[in-house]
Structure 1
Amino acid sequence: MKREDQIARLTEPGTVWDFLVVGGGATGLGVAVDAASRGHRVALVDRHDLLGR
């Protein structure tokens, strides 16, 4: 998916996120996975296209 399409999806009107995680490093990924596994709607943003950098 293109970066522009991902940004558009995050900002769709009416979309509600329980958590917005900024940073896709080890801690950000861990927090996002933990929250999602508990049933929360999670958005994760990072400055890079590939997470874990």
Structure 2
Amino acid sequence: MNRTEMIESLRQMPGFWDIVIIGGGATGLGVAVESASRGYRTLLLEQHDFAKGTSSRSTKLIHG
């Protein structure tokens, strides 16, 4: 699924999100996995590819 298709599918989803996370770096991904695994309706928003921003230029480690 490409970005355009994903955005369109999000627009068509009824209801609401329990948690909205902005940023798919190490912390954002960790929070998204944890909240989704606990049953929360979780939306993760990322401008680029995951872990491409600060996470890719800091410690080069994924914490979790």
Percent identity of paired positions between Structure 1 and Structure 2: 46
1:42 corresponds to which residue?
42
The list of structure 1 runs, each at least 4 consecutive aligned residues, that deviate by more than 3 angstroms after superposition, is none
Question: Alignment RMSD, CA only?
Answer: 1.3
Point out where structure 2 has 5 or more consecutive residues left out of the alignment.
53-64
Which TM-score applies when normalising by structure 1?
A: 0.83
Structure 2 letter corresponding to 1:52: A
Cα distance in 1, alignment partners of residues 13 and 42 from structure 2: 16
Number of residue pairs the alignment of both structures matches: 52
1:16 corresponds to which residue?
16
Larger radius of gyration: 2
2:61 corresponds to which residue?
none
Q: Which moved more, 1:33-42 or 1:14-23?
A: 14-23
2:50 corresponds to which residue?
51
Q: Does 1:26 align with 2:26?
A: yes
